[in-house]
């Protein structure tokens, strides 16, 4: 998508992920070297002081493409006329917690933000990063008049993690790995699918002989990577999450290379027999206008089908919880 100017709202802009995203958003890397960028930085009131400091640093980077920054705790001001909403602002989990434990704490954030999106530009796209990301995206979508197909939740980090694991196991560069699908929830039930993935254009199962690893440790490592980072770092992933969120934006903004796909959690339309009405990660492509389409026709084994149904069941449960809480 070629444009001269883009207006981007980043929620939670003074947080860890925000700090890692901001310089890259303004550098020209994401929207191209000819597109100027206005940033709307949304924070809760107590974090506005810290946000000022982040903005000072952004100014001190002297990015030629950055035309304006608006620092605010007013969601309507933040979302007025935006082309992209990067919904990061939410509490992260701590050690010993599941992402789903955040649901009733973070979920309400996305009702008001969904409503405020009605002030966005007609072409607005949203990526939800704050956890539990799939169900938070469902809440934002349900509370907004913006068309449903503009909302996605981030599973690109899981795709990137899976690509990195496969590349290391095969002893190849990560650029050799394509077509890794992530099915379902950004949680420990997600299903990273190696059965349709390629290494150097060949099926992963032909390149990696250790099929027990592909069906075992590969999957559990990707499913548990967020927890492993928290256990090691004491804080949840931020640099890799920011990078994946920007990968998502770039993949939506540009047409997907023929024959390839990327992972994003979008509203299920019943593809692959998954229930409609939940935000479920599928392999998707983008056209030249940022429209996402779920890739059809991947071969799913009985093994894969079982895993896809397990993560679907978890998302249906999460939907019930937020529905009972009146958030939809």
Residue 162 interacts with ligand NAD (CB under 6 A)?
A: no
Q: Which of 14, 30, 93, 222 binds ligand LMR (CB under 6 A)?
A: 93
Residue 11 interacts with ligand NAD (CB under 6 A)?
A: yes
Hunting for tokens 């077509």 — which residue is that? 179
Q: Which of 139, 229, 264, 322 binds ligand LMR (CB under 6 A)?
A: 229
Residue 134 interacts with ligand LMR (CB under 6 A)?
A: no
What stretches of the chain adopt beta strand conformation (E)?
5-11, 36-42, 66-72, 84-87, 125-128, 151-153, 177-178, 181-183, 191-193, 198-199, 202-203, 262-267, 279-286, 292-294
**Complex with ligand LMR: residue 153 or 197, whichever CB lies closer:** 153
| Residues from 167 through 226 that contact ligand LMR (CB under 6 A) | 186, 226
3-state secondary structure of 61: helix
How many whole angstroms separate alpha carbon 299 and alpha carbon 158?
Answer: 20
Question: What is the nearest approach in angstroms of ligand LMR to the Cβ of residue 134?
Answer: 11
Pick one of ligand NAD, ligand LMR, none as the site partner of residue 222 (Cβ within 5 to 8 A by kind). none
Dihedral of CA atoms 41, 78, 246, 99 in degrees, nearest 10, equals 90
> Nearest Cα to 181, choosing from 195, 170, 165?
195
Residue 294 interacts with ligand NAD (CB under 6 A)?
A: no
Q: Which of 21, 109, 246, 300 binds ligand NAD (CB under 6 A)?
A: 109
How many whole angstroms separate alpha carbon 265 and alpha carbon 129?
Answer: 11
Question: What is the nearest approach in angstroms of ligand NAD to the Cβ of residue 319?
Answer: 17
Q: Which residues of 89-116 are buried (b: 16+ CB within 10 A; e: fewer)?
A: bbbbbeeeeebbebbeebbebbbebbbb
Residue 144 interacts with ligand LMR (CB under 6 A)?
A: no
φ, ψ for residue 44 (rounded to 5)? Answer: -75, 155
Active site residues: 186
Pick one of ligand LMR, ligand NAD, none as the site partner of residue 47 (Cβ within 5 to 8 A by kind). ligand NAD
Q: How far is CA 8 from the centre of its chain?
A: 15
How many whole angstroms separate alpha carbon 3 and alpha carbon 276?
Answer: 34
> Nearest Cα to 290, choosing from 263, 257, 265, 253?
253
- Which range of residues in 9-17, 115-123, 173-181, 196-204 is near ligand NAD by CB under 6 A? 9-17
Residue 91 interacts with ligand NAD (CB under 6 A)?
A: yes
8 A C-beta contact, residue 241 and residue 154: yes
Residue 17 interacts with ligand NAD (CB under 6 A)?
A: yes
Interface pattern 123-152 for ligand NAD (x via CB under 6 A): ------xxx-x-------------------
Q: Which of 157, 162, 265, 266 binds ligand LMR (CB under 6 A)?
A: 157
> Nearest Cα to 197, choosing from 216, 181, 182?
181
How many whole angstroms separate alpha carbon 328 and alpha carbon 318?
Answer: 11
Number of residues interacting with ligand NAD: please give it, by CB under 6 A: 29
Binding site for ligand LMR (CB under 6 A): 92-93, 99, 131, 157, 186, 226-227, 229-230, 236-237, 241
Binding site for ligand NAD (CB under 6 A): 11-12, 14-18, 42-44, 47, 88-93, 109, 129-131, 133, 154, 157, 186, 236-238, 241
């Amino acid at each position: 998508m070629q444009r001269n100017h883009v207006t981007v709202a980043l929620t939670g802009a003074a947080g860890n992920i925000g700090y890692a995203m901001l310089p890259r958003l303004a550098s020209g890397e994401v929207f191209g070297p000819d597109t100027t960028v206005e940033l709307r930085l949304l924070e809760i009131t107590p974090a506005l002081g810290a946000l000022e400091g982040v903005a000072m640093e952004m100014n001190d980077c002297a990015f030629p493409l950055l035309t304006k920054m608006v620092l605010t705790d007013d969601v309507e001001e933040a979302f007025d006329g935006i082309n992209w909403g990067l919904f990061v602002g939410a509490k992260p989990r701590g050690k010993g917690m599941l992402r789903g434990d955040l649901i009733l704490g973070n979920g309400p954030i996305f009702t008001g933000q969904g409503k405020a999106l009605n002030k966005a530009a007609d072409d607005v796209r949203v990526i939800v990063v704050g956890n539990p990301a799939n169900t938070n995206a469902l809440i934002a979508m349900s509370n907004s008049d913006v068309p449903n197909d503009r909302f996605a939740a981030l599973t690109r980090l899981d795709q990137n993690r899976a690509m990195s694991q496969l590349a290391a196991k095969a002893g190849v560069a990560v650029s050799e790995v394509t077509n890794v699908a992530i099915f379902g929830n950004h949680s420990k039930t997600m299903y990273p699918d190696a059965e349709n993935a390629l290494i150097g254009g060949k099926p992963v199962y032909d390149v990696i002989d250790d099929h027990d690893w592909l069906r075992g440790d590969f999957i559990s490592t990707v499913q548990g990577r967020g927890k492993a980072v928290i256990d090691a770092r004491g804080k949840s992933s931020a640099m890799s999450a920011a990078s994946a969120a920007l990968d998502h934006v770039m993949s939506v903004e540009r047409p997907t290379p023929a024959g390839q796909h990327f992972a994003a959690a979008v509203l299920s339309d019943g593809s692959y027999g998954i229930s409609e009405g939940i935000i479920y990660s599928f392999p998707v492509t983008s056209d030249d206008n940022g429209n996402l389409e779920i890739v059809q026709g991947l071969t799913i084994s009985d093994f894969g089908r079982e895993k896809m149904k397990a993560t679907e069941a978890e998302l249906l449960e999460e939907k019930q919880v937020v529905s009972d809480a009146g958030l939809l």
